[in-house]
Structure 1
Amino acid sequence: MDHSSHANHQMHAMDASADDVAGAEETLKAYRTALEARDAQAMRALFAEDSAIFENGKAEGSFANYMEHHLGPELDAIVSFTFTDPTLTVTRMGHMAHAYETYGYRIELSDGRVIERDGVATSVLAHDADGWRIVQYHSSSRAPRN
């Protein structure tokens, strides 16, 4: 019995899975890039409408709420936002994926203050006909330890 077509199907499925993980990775990298660019519109496009955001021990609600009441006002005061040494690990589970990240960041504010932090984030993403969207994002940070 010839099983070559079955093996080919399995290889195609693995390729699709790798592509799907790459798509989830690209969504999270795009969020980081949009933060650095302070591009609120690009950030909004990456999150599901019914997303949930958690930051440093606070439930922020949906990304739209987070943008309106927390991140959006902060963006106006930021002159420069740079991530350093990012790591990203994504695991796909069907039409969902979960991820964790580590990174450093440096923020320069319009009043001259500089904020440097080490951060971590976990996220859950969902895949649909429109691609990958972040449905839950939890980040926290602390002062760097030398």
Structure 2
Amino acid sequence: MNLILWRHAEAEEGEDDLARALTRRGRRQAEMAAGWLGRHAPEDMQVLVSPAVRTRQTADMLGRDYTVVPDIAPGASPDLVLAAAGWPLNAQTVLIVGHQPTLGQVASILLAGNTLNWTLKKGGIWWLGRRQRDEDFQVVLRAVVNPEFL
């Protein structure tokens, strides 16, 4: 299984957290990251998106169908995100468009075995894979991409 974590791009400040939209810079960040994903991610990738406006606007830049999943809204637990993705049994590549600190915690659980407050930059992508070596399952960090390097 491949699990891609994509943090929403830069968003406006605001009191209604779910209604915050991308800034002009955030739209550029999302567009660059979506271009990279479009070149590297499989066509049949499943895309799951938080209900927040900024995550939906980020995912829109990819130009693919997606499913809005309330369980990956701001403040979601890493366990809910992993369950929504079907980790580790889903045979598909799954892209989660979500939030901090949850995405960083998901990455730390899979890579370090503990819930740590790792940071994914706004608009950043972490691509994780699960593979089997002999009888051992391993999680591999396949890519980390931040918009300023695209």
TM-score bracket, shorter-length normalisation: under 0.3
Larger strand proportion, structure 1 or 2? 1
Q: Which one scores higher on RCO, CA 8 angstroms, separation ≥ 6?
A: 2
| TM-score normalised by structure 1 residue count | 0.24
Which of 1 and 2 has greater Rg?
1
